[in-house]
Structure 1
């Protein structure tokens, strides 16, 4: 049977600070408690940790709901147009369309700021046309937007 402890610091394998976890008695007694990573769970600490976790779940649910609204907004726009310099044939781009380019056009069209690292372009965009692009809005919420690449000028 394990020992219930409340983490005082983040522990990669167990969880974040304030989390109530159950671990092997020896692990708690010989490592976590002496190193200051945890304290033995008392009824008061258990109640406090449960309240904190409930509050955290509430916050996560609210953030996820907002993310679903943002996803709906992003996908509701028909195309996000990006204008770039092209070669003489009219299709081949000078360079590629980057995540930053997509983030800027999304922000200019919808007002939603998206971090460029949350944008996933499956294939390098080197020609004009329409491309599907995945945007991570929240932990497990992804929006698929269509990016129309056009010749500038």
Structure 2
């Protein structure tokens, strides 16, 4: 006797099964008792499968386009030279206040014409407490990481 499975398209992320839009095979009882009542999946009809494949192709095209934009922005950031920040310093060379991700993000946005939006969660800051040069990493995508130089000078 052969085990029967039904193709299902997930409408939401389901742990251990897959992400939204994934086409999977499950047993009839699982879909009837769990996925459909909780609105986590739909039975894959031929029209839904073709619609799903079309959405997959569109998302791949969008992802490729976004990756190209990120590479262009990485080059813009890395070719923009040093960014300078002037801070008041104490007698022992340590500056007052703190340099935040928002401060650096505003500096980048003011000086570089980017084609994508950055947020402060994409910045990786080292601990900056003294004057000098620091390298900041900006994660545009998981594959594309830009590095910029920040120089902190006395005011």
TM (norm. structure 2) is 0.85
In structure 1, runs of 5+ residues without a counterpart are: none
Deviating above 6 A after TM superposition, structure 1's stretches of 4 or more consecutive aligned residues are: none
Q: CA deviation at 1:102?
A: 1.1
Structure 1 SS opposite 2:7 = strand
The answer to whether structure 1 residue 36 and structure 2 residue 22 are counterparts is no
Asked if 2 retains the 8 angstrom alpha-carbon contact of 1:64 and 1:138, the reply is yes
- Measure, in 2, the Cα distance between the counterparts of 1:41 and 1:114: 38
Q: Give TM-score, length-normalised by structure 1.
A: 0.86
Query: 2:81 corresponds to which residue?
Result: 78
Verify the 8 A CA contact 2:14 2:40 in the aligned structure 1: no
The separation in 2 between residues aligned to 1:33 and 1:85, in whole angstroms, is 62
Distance 1:79 1:56, change over 3 A: same
Alignment match, 1:132: 135
What are the residue-to-residue correspondences of 1:4-153 with 2, within 5 Å? 4-8=7-11, 10-13=12-15, 14-16=18-20, 19-25=21-27, 26-89=29-92, 91-112=93-114, 114-121=118-125, 123-152=126-155
SS at match of 1:133: strand
Unaligned runs of 5+ in 2: none
Aligned residue for 1:93, secondary structure, equals coil
Task: Give the paired residue count.
Answer: 147
Structure with bigger strand share is 1
